[in-house]
Amino acid sequence: MTDIAPRAVTSGGRRRPGGGPRAGTVIAFLTPFFLPFVLFYLVPVGYALWQSFRVVRRTGGQYGTSYTTFGGFDQYTQVFQNSEFWNSIGRIGLFGIVQVPVMLFVALIMALLLDTPLLKLKAFFRITAFMPYAVPGVIAAIMWSYLYSPQLSPVVDLFQRIGLHPDFLGPGAVLWSAANVSTWLWTGYNMLIMYSALQSIPQELYEAAKIDGASNWTIAWRIKVPIIAPSIVLTTVFSIIGTLQLYAEPAVLRQISSNISSTFTPNMLAYAVASGNNYQQAAAISVVIAVITFVLSFGFMRLTSKKAGL
């Protein structure tokens, strides 16, 4: 923490060689950011870390009196030995490997279509595609759960009329039903990030390409996509983080499908453990999820930036 403020002062000094801004001004401008950052980010993270190194002990008797004490890496050993944890990571891995590419591919196609001069009613399509993002995840999941439910769904009804009996909530399908909700929610959001990147490409580039005889197709794949590659990387990183933190959609679908267990995703497992009063174990699970998220998202960034030289 202490290394940040002086650095800000130095960089300020570089910009204005006549004399640095007073420390008071800097503090005044930074406080609104750092105070909530410390209170609502660093402190909870620190608290979780602290909890994860503790274990419950209690004095004798049928109910005893509980207290916590330092337990070393006990909680972490338990996380690594917990098959439910690795099952949930595996499940979410499968989910991410399929859902993220599908979602981002669709988002990219939509962004490119929005960017073509051929498309009319751009504002309408843009807002329609983005609309699902405005719906809170829980509400979206409730909405979709009605569409999946054989008792209530007009969609299932329609399938049944043509002799098909899809079971969207069955053991094999429910993961993909949850994936569909996520895709529906986030495609428009990712599209908008890519579309904004497309908007910032200077028109002269296209003109030059056209003069060279490039088709719209070539322009899209040879010029637009490579230029917006950083935003595609960014949406991928967001999606990896989002996937590992998946909670709302499966938690809501769980209420109508018994094929989603209480340990379906890592976050659901952490929640289930915490609701059983085992806060220390839940903290350790959360820390491990955070580390895996960190490694995967920054690993992906490292990998792509090396490859593409971004």
Partner 1 sequence: MSKTVTRTRLAAVAAAATLVALAGCSSSAPSDKASAASCTPAKGKVTLQYWNTVPGMDKVVDLWNKKNPDIQVQTKNISNDQYGTLGNALKAGKAPDLAQVGYDELPALRTQNAFVDASACSAATAAKSKFVPWTWSQTSFGGTGVFALPQDTGPMALYVRSDIFKKYDIAIPTTWDEYAAAAQKLHKADPSLDITFFDPNNAEWFNGLLWQNSAQMYSYSGDKWHVTVTSDQSKQVADYWQKLIAGKLVRTDLANGSTQMYAAYQKDQIASYVGAAWGYSMFRDNLPKQSGKWSIVPIPTWGANGSSGDWGGSTVAFMKGSQHLYESVKFNTWLNSDPEALALENQLGGLYPAADAGLKLPALSKGVPYYNNEKVFDVFADSSRKINTNFAWGPTQKTVNLALQDAMAKAAAGDGTLTDALSAAQAAALKSMKAQAIPATAGK
Please report whether residue 63 would count as binding partner 1 according to CB under 8 A.
Answer: yes
What is the Cα–Cα distance from 32 to 283, expressed in whole angstroms?
28
Q: Residue 64: in which H helix or E strand, if any?
A: none
Please report whether residue 276 would count as binding partner 1 according to CB under 8 A.
Answer: yes
Report the residue number, 57 or 210, with the smaller CB distance to partner 1.
57
What is the Cα–Cα distance from 169 to 139, expressed in whole angstroms?
18
Q: Are 81 and 285 in contact (CB under 8 A)?
A: no
Please report where in the chains the tokens 């990387």 appear, as a residue: 233
Piece in contact with partner 1 (CB under 8 A), picked from 128-136, 155-163, 165-173, 243-251: 165-173
The distance of closest approach from Cβ of residue 55 to partner 1 in the complex, given in angstroms and rounded to an integer, is 8
253: left (phi over 0), alpha (psi -120 to 50) or beta: alpha
Both tokens of 215, joined, read 């088709």
Report the residue number, 116 or 277, with the smaller CB distance to partner 1.
277
Interface residue with partner 1, options 87, 218, 278, 304 (CB under 8 A): 278
Q: How many residues bind partner 1 (CB under 8 A)?
A: 53
- Using alpha carbons, select from 290, 262, 260, 257 the residue that is nearest to residue 276: 262
The distance of closest approach from Cβ of residue 97 to partner 1 in the complex, given in angstroms and rounded to an integer, is 24
Interface residue with partner 1, options 23, 27, 45, 208 (CB under 8 A): 45
- Using alpha carbons, select from 277, 166, 293, 194 the residue that is nearest to residue 242: 293
- Using alpha carbons, select from 49, 48, 53 the residue that is nearest to residue 73: 53
The distance of closest approach from Cβ of residue 113 to partner 1 in the complex, given in angstroms and rounded to an integer, is 29
Interface residue with partner 1, options 171, 199, 207, 295 (CB under 8 A): 171
Q: Report the sign of the C-alpha dihedral through residues 177, 188, 295, 249, in that order.
A: negative
Report the residue number, 179 or 269, with the smaller CB distance to partner 1.
269
Interface residue with partner 1, options 30, 68, 76, 300 (CB under 8 A): 68
Q: In sequence order, which residues have a C-beta less than 8 Å from that of residue 207 and are 6 or more positions away?
A: none
Give the distance, in angstroms, between the CA of residue 127 and the centroid of all CA atoms in the same chain: 22
Residue 172: strand, helix, or coil: coil
Please report whether residue 60 would count as binding partner 1 according to CB under 8 A.
Answer: yes
Report the residue number, 46 or 101, with the smaller CB distance to partner 1.
46
Which 191-250 positions form the footprint of partner 1 (CB under 8 A)?
Answer: none
The distance of closest approach from Cβ of residue 127 to partner 1 in the complex, given in angstroms and rounded to an integer, is 30
Report the residue number, 216 or 259, with the smaller CB distance to partner 1.
259
Please report whether residue 259 would count as binding partner 1 according to CB under 8 A.
Answer: yes
Report the residue number, 105 or 298, with the smaller CB distance to partner 1.
298
Which 72-101 positions form the footprint of partner 1 (CB under 8 A)?
Answer: 78
Q: Are 88 and 100 in contact (CB under 8 A)?
A: no
Interface residue with partner 1, options 46, 101, 136, 299 (CB under 8 A): 46
34: how many CB neighbours lie within 10 A of its CB?
A: 15
188: how many CB neighbours lie within 10 A of its CB?
A: 21
Can you give the binding site for partner 1, defined by CB under 8 A?
A: 1, 3-4, 42, 45-46, 49-50, 53-70, 78, 146, 149-152, 169-171, 254-256, 258-259, 261-263, 272-273, 275-279, 281, 298, 301
